[in-house]
């Protein structure tokens, strides 16, 4: 039973793993974390998949690292939604990066689950990840 409401993102072109909600919720409970995230499996070119996300939390300084928190790989307690994105976040391919930094600086208990919890396939008609969609080469 969930004692507090939890939120998670799902972009229109992402796919949760079948156990996405279960494993993130269990991990949040086990670690008493208010904000948890895992890895994403991203299709770089047709049939070529890479993993992104890692235990290194965003540091807030340019250049932004390859281990940013994948948008659809997070789960957090309801009150964290108050950390809204920057008004100009649409300009950045790493828009959530700034939001997650504010969450961490506020003292929110963060946990990293070292497993893939979401997949990001290429969109129909795409042959590779576009620069705007995935700015850094993450090999």
Three-state SS at 92: coil
Q: Decide if 137 is inside a domain.
A: no
Assess contact for 128 and 53: CB atoms under 8 A: no
| Owning domain of residue 96 | 6-120
Residue 47: Cβ-neighbour burial (10 angstroms; 0-12, 13-18, 19+): exposed
Q: Decide if 127 is inside a domain.
A: no
pTM over 0.85: no
Q: How confident is the model at residue 135 (pLDDT cuts 50, 70, 90)?
A: very low
Concatenated DSSP letters of 52-65 = E--SS---SSSSPP
Q: What CATH number corresponds to the domain at position 39?
A: 3.90.550.10
Into how many domains does the chain fold?
A: 1
In tens, the pLDDT along 20-65 reads: 999 999 999 999 999 999 999 999 999 999 998 888 776 655 544 5
Assess contact for 9 and 74: CB atoms under 8 A: yes
Question: Worst-scoring range by mean pLDDT, 28-32, 122-126, 127-131?
Answer: 127-131
């Amino acid at each position: 039973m969930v004692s507090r409401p939890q939120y998670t993102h799902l972009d229109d072109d992402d796919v949760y793993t079948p156990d996405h909600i279960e494993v993130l919720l269990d991990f949040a409970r086990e670690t008493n974390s208010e904000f948890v995230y895992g890895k994403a499996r991203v299709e770089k070119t047709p049939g070529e998949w890479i993993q992104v996300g890692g235990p290194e939390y965003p540091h807030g300084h340019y250049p932004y690292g390859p281990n940013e928190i994948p948008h659809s790989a997070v789960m957090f307690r309801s009150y964290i939604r108050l950390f809204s994105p920057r008004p100009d976040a649409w300009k950045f391919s790493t828009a959530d990066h700034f939001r997650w930094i504010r969450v961490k600086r506020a003292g929110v208990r963060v946990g990293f689950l070292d497993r893939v919890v979401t997949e990001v396939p290429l969109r129909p008609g795409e042959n590779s990840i576009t620069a705007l969609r995935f700015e850094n080469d993450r090999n």
